Amino acid sequence: MDLNARVTQLFNDSIATKQAALKTLVPTIVAGGQLMAAALKQGYKIMSCGNGGSAADAQHFSAELLNRFERERVPLPGIALTTDTSTLTSISNDYHYDEVFAKQLRALGQPGDVLLAISTSGNSPNVVRAMQVAHEKGVHIVALTGRDGGKMAPLLQAPDVEIRVPAKVTARIQEVHLLALHCLCDLIDEQLFGARA
């Protein structure tokens, strides 16, 4: 096994996935950035959720809002629903793991807020459940998915946005999700704070 060739192939696969995504995702990333910026401009917040690597992405995005992305600016209201272990374990223990995000959203979500729902398959039951509660609460959704959009895609309604990566390999989908999240952060900053000096 040639390990150098293997790593080179992984780079090439990632590049090819990003090139395919570039052809289809620009309008949906822009729409997601516009939805998020409009909510923040009106004083609403963005909550994020996902499992595993998608949980890490949810936390990453929230940190970029609360701290900063690539420019100095005021903190923006973001909450990662993936971080409070006492809440996550109590909900899982007392109810079901499918409810870990939904119950938090029911308590914290307000009409006009945005839920960033992340799942590479689009089938994570707890993310799907959070989306259902988001609609009950009047919370808009930006969904990051892959493959065929899974069970999440049919749940979306105007003005929700789906950013669906045209790939089937989880790692490649996650790599594009991270790029899309950085694009969303940049679009938020650009719309709220204008061009950098």
Angstrom CA distances, 55 to 47, 83, 113, 116, 124, stand at: 12, 8, 19, 11, 12
The first and second tokens of residue 175, run together, are 């790599």
Q: Is the pLDDT of residue 197 over 60?
A: no
pTM of the model: 0.96
- The pLDDT tens digits for 128-169 are 999 999 999 999 999 999 999 999 999 999 999 999 999 999
Angstrom CA distances, 64 to 96, 146, 153, 186, 192, stand at: 30, 23, 26, 10, 14
Task: Specify the pLDDT at position 48.
Answer: 98
**Who's near 57: CB < 8 A, 6+ residues apart?**
48, 50, 118, 144, 174, 177, 178, 181
Percentage of residues of the chain with pLDDT beyond 90: 97
Q: What's phi and psi for 89, nearest 5 deg? A: -75, -35
- The pLDDT tens digits for 13-43 are 999 999 999 999 999 999 999 999 999 999 9
Task: Specify the pLDDT at position 195.
Answer: 67
- The pLDDT tens digits for 79-100 are 999 999 999 999 999 999 999 9
Closest-CA residue to 28 (of 184, 197, 186)? 184
Question: Treating both helix axes as pointing N-terminal to C-terminal, what angle do 170-193 and 3-41 enclose, rounded to 10 degrees?
Answer: 40
Q: Which residue has the tokens 């729902």?
A: 117
Angstrom CA distances, 16 to 7, 11, 12, stand at: 14, 9, 6
- CATH of 3-193, picked from 3.40.50.10490, 3.40.50.2300, 3.40.50.300, 2.60.40.10, is 3.40.50.10490
Q: Which amino acid is at 102?
A: A
**Who's near 53: CB < 8 A, 6+ residues apart?**
120, 170, 174
Domain boundaries of the chain, sorted by first residue: 3-193
Task: Specify the pLDDT at position 12.
Answer: 97
- The pLDDT of 113-119, averaged and rounded, is 98
Q: Which residue has the tokens 């998608």?
A: 54
Task: Specify the pLDDT at position 86.
Answer: 98
